[in-house]
Structure 1
Amino acid sequence: MILGGFLFISVSVGGIFAWIVSKLFQQTTQGLSLLCGGFLVGLLALDIIPTALQMYQMFGILLGALIGYLLFQVLHGFTHPATAQTPSLYLLTIALLLHTIPLSITIGNALSDSTFGITLTTSTILHHVPEGFALTAALLSQGKHLWSLLLVFMSLSMCFTLFIWIGHYINLTNHAQSILLGISISLLAATSLSEFILQHRQALPRVSFLSYILMGYLLSTLFHFFMR
């Protein structure tokens, strides 16, 4: 529960930063959505994918990516009516919840080694600051109320705590964790491109379209630099 509380604080810090940044885009929901899309692309390219390739099996990641893409198509149909024009917070939340599972289980397995466990836990909690930013930016770009974000952050924290406990008693195979992470990566990539970027390619001039994406990517780079 304590670790889950720290993670809640971590994503909340990212959320506060996103709220501050959103004040620059009060009249441009498309701009905030593109900013979020660029941020998610940076999060994948700079952090999630390199970490996955370093820690987990390539075959499992690729298999999970295929499953994740098929899952995206199914969930997209359920959560996104043909007339919808706003990005889906649900898909992003599912992807980040899945991404939390392998990391939480690894921490649970490492708790017997106090030094390694503390180091890994601290790193993982800090790692969720940019995820809080991405979720908040996505929610604000849809004009939703902030109380719903509280529920999302609590869900992430509870999932984190639950799978740390599971990892402490059950050793999930590396192959299974690789598949879960592959699903998460695929869902994040598909959501970033389809929901936050490509959906707005006709709404803004090309220069503005690319500028917002680049700003999001640069913000992700800054997070990556300071969270290392």
Structure 2
Amino acid sequence: MSAMVLGGFLFFSISIGGAIAWVFSKLFQHTTQGLSLLCGGFLVGLLVLDIVPSSFHLYQTFGLILGIFIGYFIFQILDTIFHSSHSQNPSVTLLAIAMIIHTIPISLTVGNLLGNAALSITITASIILHHIPEGFALSTALLSQGERLWRLFLYFIVFSIFFSIFILIGQYWDLSEKAQGLLMGISIGLIATTSISEFILHHIRSVTLKSLIIYVCLGYLLSYVFHTLVE
């Protein structure tokens, strides 16, 4: 199975997540703050239930923690740049960068395994299932900023191209486990700080405490449902 075909499967997967996010955006169409808080709660759930446990199971603790600190400092630098330039959507850009970095170790590993035909079906199924939540998170972030549907698909195409490129690289370059752990840690640091700072704390004063708890908990609950379905 080629890298481009797998990239197509990734596009299909995140599009499913995007479609689910679009449905929720219609439910909260008059509450952009609510959609942002929903996204923040979902991302926290994605980290707590899936990304962090699996990463600490696969990679060394030191590399992950170092990467998390690096990710935090990258967030601070990028956040300062975007806000100082009066960008309206720093959260979307930061989350997109985090998602791309998160994809690099996975796609390189897939590239290393492509030669094993017995694993092709397993790899394909894993890509489809485990990127639906990421498609939902990215789409919710974009929709909360008022992005149009065609822009979502543009992001999905770029995301799929990056995935395919790193699969191709993975066929010829075996990235060390320490380097993969560091990249995964950077991704965790970026996603964590973006979800908490940009999607939750940024809107904490614009909604009531009751609404804040409801939206964040609903996002976390949705993440739990996704996690249960793809296990």
Superposition TM-score, scaled by structure 2 size: 0.94
Q: What is aligned with 2:171?
A: 168
What is the letter of the counterpart of residue 103 of structure 1? I
Q: What is aligned with 1:43?
A: 46
Supply the distance in 2 between the matched residues of 1:48 and 1:151 (Cα, whole angstroms): 25
Decide whether the 8 Å contact of 2:71 with 2:189 is kept in 1.
yes
Q: Measure how far apart 1:115 and its partner are.
A: 2.2
What is the letter of the counterpart of residue 148 of structure 1? R
Q: What is aligned with 1:111?
A: 114
Moved more, 25-34 or 83-92: 83-92
Q: What is aligned with 2:63?
A: 60
Q: Measure how far apart 1:136 and its partner are.
A: 1.0
Q: Measure how far apart 1:156 and its partner are.
A: 1.1
Decide whether the 8 Å contact of 2:82 with 2:90 is kept in 1.
no
Q: How does 1:6-25 map to 2 (within 5 A)?
A: 6-25=9-28
Supply the distance in 2 between the matched residues of 1:20 and 1:74 (Cα, whole angstroms): 34
SS of 1:90's equivalent in the other structure is: helix
Supply the distance in 1 between the matched residues of 2:43 and 2:118 (Cα, whole angstroms): 31
Instruction: Return the match for 1:208 from 207, 211, 226.
Output: 211
Superposition TM-score, scaled by structure 1 size: 0.95
1:30 counterpart = 2:33: yes
Supply the distance in 1 between the matched residues of 2:146 and 2:114 (Cα, whole angstroms): 40
Cα distance change of structure 1 residues 101 and 135 upon mapping to structure 2, 3 Å threshold? same
Decide whether the 8 Å contact of 2:9 with 2:124 is kept in 1.
no
Q: What is aligned with 2:224?
A: 221
Q: Measure how far apart 1:122 and its partner are.
A: 2.1
Q: What is aligned with 1:5?
A: 8
Q: What is aligned with 1:137?
A: 140
Q: Measure how far apart 1:168 and its partner are.
A: 1.1
Q: Measure how far apart 1:83 and its partner are.
A: 6.1
What is the letter of the counterpart of residue 7 of structure 2? G
Unaligned segments of structure 2, at least 5 residues: none
What is the letter of the counterpart of residue 36 of structure 2? S
Moved more, 209-218 or 153-162: 153-162
Supply the distance in 2 between the matched residues of 1:195 and 1:27 (Cα, whole angstroms): 19
Aligned residues: 228
Once the two structures are superposed, what CA deviation does each residue of 1:150-187 show, in whole Å capped at 9, x if it has no partner? 22111110111111111111110000000100000000
Supply the distance in 2 between the matched residues of 1:112 and 1:223 (Cα, whole angstroms): 30
> Considering only aligned residues, what root-mean-square deviation do their CA atoms show, in Å?
1.5
1:153 counterpart = 2:156: yes
User: Identity of counterpart residues, as a percentage?
Assistant: 56
Unaligned segments of structure 1, at least 5 residues: none
Decide whether the 8 Å contact of 1:87 with 1:196 is kept in 2.
no
Decide whether the 8 Å contact of 1:107 with 1:117 is kept in 2.
no
Supply the distance in 1 between the matched residues of 2:86 and 2:7 (Cα, whole angstroms): 37
Q: What is aligned with 1:78?
A: 81
